[in-house]
A and B are shown apart, each in its own frame.
Chain A
């Protein structure tokens, strides 16, 4: 956040004195995000709240009156009682107690007009707080289509707040909404002193009864209630058909992620390779050039290359979320994931982790319970991310013969599949063990509203996609870049002595660490070149491929995997190669992931635990693989 002097010390003369601050609150699926997008358009800023890893979304808009209004989009909630860090932010922001935030001058309570029961109770809670608010009856188009009749005037009197009807996706009702908001801001008074406190069960019952009374008095049941959702659910939530459809959807999604993204990824790869070449050609040879080309540009490239996959994945996830299917997926998966001690909502983060664990770990924020969230974070990197693919492809291409088994299946494909399956199975086993041994017994309730199905709005989806891409880029970039620089330093210094014959990396710190660790890795069949490749490979898994090229000094250029794979075939035994694959299934070969875990958990404890358990698993798996392979004659 930029320090806004005017907001901190309001003075009449300040040009910012005319900036109003409002916040959006509401139930999940009420169209709050759509309303926020409609209000602020592209003028949004996403950051974190001070000290907590909860996303802070703020945007600015200019009201018809010319006044600037800063809009804060608060996490969706059913009550002001906080159950998760997200909901704590909502509560504190509404109460004006959020550290480092100015209290909003007015609130907009966003309600799904077709689903008012639960939000009315939230509105009553807001009334207790005493901060002026407007109730936005959103999705009013759907309410009208259903022939739902709402006595807006009466409702307004009953809850003591002005009401506007809106259609966020069509930008309808926004001027009226801003009018009412400005009127509240101008009055500048709290409607009452804050009388809100954590309600007891009895108080919730009373509030619910009151909300029910208001609902009955003001809302006539719809003449044409939605029957489509029930019919669709009849298929999509069918115990068997539902699961089959979910698996089919996942299959299509994976196909898309891996096939659609390839051209874009190749393009980005080629673009960065050209940029590196251009830098090397146009700048004088030396340390600075190497830093810019191999440290910075290669570093940015290694992040950007995954962007196409991540965008496609996010695109699907957004479609599934906006249509209302995601809650169904969690429903269908809950029992299966629950068996391994995971929450149904862990499904999405783990799915994302197939592209990259970093967005996966970032999206564990949807899980309320801390232990559930930590378990999910800990196992997310076991999902086979796309950075492993280059490594797998290289080794499989070099060592696994291109033959078919049982007439139809390619052996190489089978090995690839086996590696994916090991990742998934071990993730389930690890979370099972974590649950059984460390966090015994108690299970977090699983309770989720299943929203009405809706056609996703393309504009809204694209805008949310853009927001998520920006968040990923800025967060990942801030963590990955410094690490890439660090790894560059380690693999560059010190220089090889005059007249040295081996590749320069052998003499660097990374090379020395590798050689130092080599005896430790000998029992799992790694030679020292393999061990050296692991060190820069900590920056990102796929970097190991390039480093192997360097260590074996293949033509000096990377990209010549053909030559490299022939060379590896001559240098490594099959047992070593299989052991290397096993290592890569488990090893925490990705510092950025550890960095993101540190950020998301606000502590070094969890990245440390993750590192230790993954290294141990990797070592054990590689050890067993190596020795079994040797015993079978593959040494």
Chain B
């Protein structure tokens, strides 16, 4: 199933600040700093929002952490492997929708 990654229209966790986009939309090689982590990925999750938020935080996805997209999967460029500070983490784009990043050079 290559369900396209769709964000609901009302989903805009970090406002429209310039250069801030969900990590879900990032391509390989993009770097930035996490500005906001919520539990709302914009997709149906098996865990409640707060739980998703806690898991992301526990894996080191916290506001202020530096982030870089290292690798992408073949199908739908999903999942992605990212560097968070100095840890490498793999996650799906759907969960990455809960992380807003201010990307460099935009």
Query: Which residues in A have some Cβ–Cβ distance to B below 8 Å?
Result: 78-79, 81, 83, 115, 117-118, 121, 199-201, 204-205, 208-209, 225, 229-230, 233, 237-240, 242-243, 327, 330-332, 334-336, 338-339, 344, 369, 371, 441-451
Contact = CB atoms under 8 A, between A and B. Distances in A.
Given A239-B72, A447-B55, A208 B62 contact: yes
Contacts of B92: 334, 338, 445-446
A242 B91 CA distance: 17
B99 to A, nearest CB: 11
B95 A445 contact: yes
A451 B86 CA distance: 11
Contacts of B56: 447
B71 A233 contact: yes
B88 to A, nearest CB: 4
B87 A446 contact: no
Contact of B73 (A334, A449, A450): A334
- 9 A-B pairs with least C-beta separation: A442-B46, A239-B74, A450-B88, A237-B71, A335-B75, A204-B57, A444-B46, A331-B90, A447-B91
Contact of B89 (A121, A237, A444, A450): A450
22 contacts: A78-B59, A83-B55, A201-B54, A204-B54, A204-B58, A205-B57, A233-B71, A237-B71, A239-B77, A334-B78, A335-B73, A339-B1, A443-B94, A444-B46, A444-B47, A445-B45, A445-B47, A446-B79, A446-B92, A447-B56, A449-B89, A450-B81
A289 to B, nearest CB: 56
Contact of A118 (B2, B54, B60): B60
Contacts of B75: 335-336, 339
A16 B43 CA distance: 55
Contacts of A233: 70-71, 81, 88
A85 B17 CA distance: 41
B81 A237 contact: yes
A447 B59 contact: yes
A92 B47 CA distance: 22
Contacts of A117: 60, 85-87
Given A331-B79, A335-B76, A335-B79, A446 B91 contact: yes
Contacts of A81: 54, 58
Contacts of A121: 58
B90 A79 contact: no
Which of B71, B76, B91 has the most chain A CB atoms inside 10 A of its CB? Answer: B71
Nearest to B59: A447
A331 B81 contact: yes
